[in-house]
Amino acid sequence: MKVSNKLLNANKSKPLNMVIIGQGAIGLLWYCHFYKQQHSDVYLLEHYKEHQQQGITFNNINNITEHIPREEVNIKELTSAENILICVKCHQVDQVINDISPYLKNKINIILCHNGMGALNDFSQALLSKHNVLTLLTTHGCFKSSASKIKHTGLGHSDLGLMQGTFKDLDKNALLHQFNTALPTTTWCENIKIKQWLKLAINCVINPITAINNIQNGKILSEKFTDIIDNILLEVITLAQCEGVLLSLESLKATVLEVAHRTANNSSSMRCDIQANRMSEIAHINGYIQKLGRHYNIKTPVNDSLIAQIQALYLS
C-alpha cells in the first residue's frame, strides 16, 4: 500500500479524525469535501474499494473539475480513529461492522449514512454497544461514472442525529461544525427517527418508480404517477404510526415532490444499481414497509408489488 504523505508527516500518536468507509458516490463526495478543508484530517479505508486508483476526479457543484488525492489507511489503523463515517449500501452495513469491530477503540463515533432502514441486526448492534452510533441523512445528489470519477449533481441538506450512546454538547457542536464546514448545511436532529421516516418515504416513492420506468427523478412529477405515489405513502404513513411516528399525506407528498423537482435530472440510486446489475436496496426501503406490515399484520399490496417488479427486472 502507498503510505499517505499525511501519515508520514503526522505524529504517530495523533488520532485519525475522520475515516470514511465506502467509496461509492456519497462516500467519495463527503471525502472530497472534507479533504478540501485543510483542518480536516480525513482518510478513506482502503479495505472497501473497487481497485487501486491514484486519485479522484471531482466535478463540483459549480461544474469545476478538481483532482483530489486519495489518502488511505488500512483496517488495522482504525485503532486511532475518532470518527468513522460508513457510506455503504444498507445490506452491506452488517458485514462492515463485523469486519472493523476488532480494531475499534472504546467510545468512538460511528456514523451511518445509507438509504433505507433496519440495517443493523442484533449481532451488529451488540458489536457497537460501546460506541456512539449516529445517523447521517443527506439529500445531496452525486453521480459516480467510474471508480475514480464523481460529479456533485445537486445541492441538498443533511441531518445528523444520535441513535445510541451519549454526546456532550461540546462534542456534538464540534462534529456538527466539521460537517457544516465541509459540505453545508448539516443540522443536528434530536429526534432523528422522524427524519429517517421522511427519508424512507422519499426513497419508497422515487427509487422504485424511477427504476421500474427507467426515468429520471423529475419524471415522477407526471400526473400519471399521482395515484401510485399516494398509495405508497398511505402504506408508509400507516406503518410509521405503528412505530410511533405521525406523518400526514399532504405534507409528506409535498416533501417527496419537492425532492423530485430539486433532483429532476438525477438518476436514483436504485435505477443506477439496476442498470449496473448491482444488488439494490429495495429490501431495506419498500421491503422495510413490507416487513413491518407483516409484523403488525397490516397488508402492504402497493409496496409488495413494487418489490416484485424490481426483482423481476433482474430476471429480464
Q: How far apart are CA 189 and CA 194, in angstroms?
A: 9
Q: How far apart are CA 191 and CA 162, in angstroms?
A: 8
CB 205 within 8 Å of CB 256 = yes
CB 310 within 8 Å of CB 290 = no
Domain residues of the chain, as ranges? 5-190, 194-313
> What pTM value is reported for the model?
0.90
Q: What is the pLDDT of residues 27-43, one digit of tens each?
A: 999 999 999 986 568 99
- Output the pLDDT for position 193: 94
Closest by CA to 100, choosing from 118, 117, 114, 85, is: 85
Long-range contacts of 4-11 (CB under 8 A, 24+ apart): 4/43, 4/71, 4/72, 4/73, 5/71, 6/41, 6/43, 6/71, 7/71, 7/73, 10/41
Which mean pLDDT values do the consecutive 10-residue runs of the chain (316 residues) have?
44 69 95 84 80 83 95 93 95 95 92 94 92 94 92 92 92 94 94 95 97 97 98 98 97 95 92 93 97 98 98 87
Q: What is the pLDDT of residues 165-176, one digit of tens each?
A: 998 899 999 999
Q: In this structure, what DSSP letter does residue 3 have?
A: P
In which order are the strands placed within the sheet that holds 186-188?
A: 72-73, 42-45, 16-21, 81-86, 109-112, 132-138, 158-164, 186-188
Domain 194-313 has CATH 1.10.1040.10: yes
Active site amino acids: 199
- Beta carbons within 10 angstroms of residue 119's beta carbon: 23
Q: Which CATH number fits domain 5-190: 3.40.190.10, 3.30.200.20, 3.40.640.10, 3.40.50.720?
A: 3.40.50.720
- Output the pLDDT for position 300: 98
- Output the pLDDT for position 8: 42
